[in-house]
Amino acid sequence: MKARLFWAILIGIAFFTTGCTKSTDLDDLIGMSKDIQELYYEERNSGEIIFDGKVWAKDNQFKYEVTVYDNNKKIDTLGLLTDNSGKRTTYRIPNPNASSAPSTGISGTFQGIREDSFLRYIDRIDLEKAEIVGAEEVEGRQSVIVKTNTANGVDPSKLWIDKKTGVPTKIEFAENEKMVTSLTYKNIKIGPGSVSDQEFAVPESAMILE
């Protein structure tokens, strides 16, 4: 009887400890990126419409460029710049394969580094639902795979999070349990010195849209 009670208590302690460790590990991983105020990264999606994106962010300065491809040819490159004063500028970089249709630029206003960069996906993880399901290297970064148990097509269903910095290296979106698209991040730079003030400028070859 005493032996059974001992093993029951031991198993209960092991279960409780494992659960707490898992939650703490995920919480710590998510918390690693909380103080980031400066970053740069590039992104590429998988899907019917392929695009490359670049993001520069430093305090209240933000710059985003996106290039859309068709059959591996650049179709259009659009940019959005927000400077320290809050002034917003949208622009278009002409290229030989650019569509002839007029572009209206990228819409939206700057909400802050976390909300406008890939950090927003970290902030949306629900610790009550999410779980660590593995690990994998993505673009040279050892990453923890987090399943969010969300499949609404809007929030990521799965994230790969860099073990050293806590930022995403890849995300997947699913709807009705089926993967819809994914984004992979590369050339990530985090922290002071990642971006120079000179990079927050409209390229000389660009056409100002707004």
Task: Read off the tokens for 100.
Answer: 């002839």
Phi/psi of residue 93, each to 5°?
A: -100, 110
Which parts of the chain sit beneath pLDDT 50?
A: 1-24, 102
The pLDDT of residue 115: 92
The pLDDT of residue 183: 94
Nearest C-alpha neighbor of 188 from the set 69, 48, 33: 33
Question: What gap in Å lies between CA 152 and CA 173, rounded to an integer?
Answer: 8
Alpha helices in the chain (DSSP H): 2-31, 113-116, 119-123
The pLDDT of residue 179: 78
The pLDDT of residue 99: 58
Between the alpha carbon of residue 84 and those of residues 61, 96, 112, the distances in Å are: 5, 33, 12
3-state helix, strand, coil in the chain (%, to 5): 20, 40, 40
The pLDDT of residue 47: 74
The pLDDT of residue 155: 86
The pLDDT of residue 103: 55
The pLDDT of residue 23: 44
pLDDT digits 0-9 by tens, 25-36: 889 998 999 999
pTM of the model: 0.82
The pLDDT of residue 165: 95
The pLDDT of residue 168: 97
Residue 150: CB atoms within 10 A of its CB come to: 18
